[in-house]
Structure 1
Amino acid sequence: MTDRPNPTAPEDEAVDGPLTLRVGVLVLWIQAALVALLAVVELVQLIRNGTDQFEWAAWIIAGPLVAAVALFFAGRLLINRRLAGRGLAVTIQLCAVPVAFFMITGDNDAWVRVVGALIALSVVAAVALVVAPASRRALVA
């Protein structure tokens, strides 16, 4: 794999990459920011309410933080046109599918269902953009 741009691509696409890849990375980074925000909110709630089980609290915070870092790292790999970024991004998105499914189909409030639907839409958008033919050509070339 080389880092050379595609010589048959338009000039702006050769430098920045195709639009599908750039928007896909933007979706990944928005997801990373929101998951990191979720971890911070959980941490604040745990500190405010006070917990006596610090081991469980650490796992509750560590999961979203690891996911946020992985989403950001996948975006960086894709920006640098590394094929491994696509696999990492799709894998993380597949991990979000059960979360969205149970948020939508569970016995929850309406706002939880709406958030679950937004998560599901962002998962579909991220995967579709990252595996789009233009993105694939940019990563393989």
Structure 2
Amino acid sequence: MFHTRYLSWFHAIAVAAGLLLISSGCVRRRMTVRTNPPGATVSVDNQLIGTSPAATSFVYYGTREIRLEKDGYRTETIRRKVKPPWYQLPVLDFVSETLWPGEIRDERIIDVEMVPKAVEPTENVLGRAELLRSQAVGQ
């Protein structure tokens, strides 16, 4: 009888551990890049993710290189550090990634104001071209 009681406790603990592993959580990480005006082509770490507003999932925290391109606007390349939240710090990340019941969502939004291209008047460009041409011929 003594042996049977421990065996039933062992089974109960094994079932509880199995349920915990089955229902174990995870952290879903997502980064959304929004631009003003919308419609810019967005690349993160040299990977095209789409047209803004564009979103992508990510696994690791750290510095990301974001490139934005849109006709009539200056091409922007920015570096943004994505810091881990407190529950992703060493030791705590084991709990949040494997033992926490349910899902944890880490949503990051990056807003960028696009700058219009400065269009120089044609006369200025032609004037500089003539000046350079005359300097080259005079040498």
TM-score between the two structures when normalised by the length of structure 1: 0.27
Structure label with greater radius of gyration: 2
More strand by share: 2
